Amino acid sequence: MHTTEWDRDLLRDALTEIMKAANLNPTGVGELAGRDRTTAHRWLKGKNQPNVDAATRFARAIVVRHPELADLVSRFLAAAGYPEGNPPPERASALMTEGDAEREAIERLRVSATAGGKSLGEILVERGLAEPKELKISDQVRGDSVVRKIEQSPNIPDDEKNDILKDLAELRRQTFREYGIDD
């Protein structure tokens, strides 16, 4: 049983816009909400108020996949009865495990980095979350065979390896941009 106020019409409108923008059908909405397709149909028809678990799970999944829809997702959550686009405080911490919180924080940093045309490392340094000397390899080249050869080379001092790897990452970033490939 829900004790929050919700707006059926606004919910339907926001969900319809999200579905259109994210190219989702009711089955996709249900999957993202951790439910089945009938959940989306009930929400669209105003028969059921989304419970906080399903609404939050759906909202989080949409924002991670489509950060540009964040305002629309906030409208959806507010219409579902969760003020300010947030679940009730007593439920918020229960909905998110430590791993979920970390993944969500990292995803927000990645979105900021992409939006600013920067690497994740640059964002971490800008926000005081890391020192440049702590960043060894760009996240874009980790696991690469060229990177492994550089890292394992006994003839290159460690501090030079880091400089070479940073240069390699920047060269690749420039190449991706020249060819219009997202890095």
Mean confidence (pLDDT) of the chain: 76
What pLDDT score was predicted for residue 83? Answer: 63
Residue 158 buriedness (CB in 10 A; 0-12 / 13-18 / 19+): exposed
pLDDT digits (tens, 9 = 90+) for 111-132: 777 777 777 777 777 888 877 7
pLDDT digits (tens, 9 = 90+) for 10-19: 999 999 999 9
Domains by residue range for the chain, with CATH: 8-96 (1.10.260), 98-132 (no CATH), 136-183 (no CATH)
What pLDDT score was predicted for residue 179? Answer: 59
What pLDDT score was predicted for residue 3? Answer: 52
Full DSSP string of 23-66: T--HHHHHHHTTS-HHHHHHHHHTSSPPPHHHHHHHHHHHHHH-
Confidence grade of residue 98 (pLDDT, cut at 50, 70, 90):
low
Confidence grade of residue 94 (pLDDT, cut at 50, 70, 90):
very low
Q: How big is the CA angle at 65 (ends 165 and 47), to the nearest 5 degrees?
A: 165
Residue 23 reports pLDDT greater than 70? yes
pLDDT digits (tens, 9 = 90+) for 133-180: 776 555 444 456 777 777 788 888 887 877 787 777 777 777 666 655
What pLDDT score was predicted for residue 56? Answer: 85
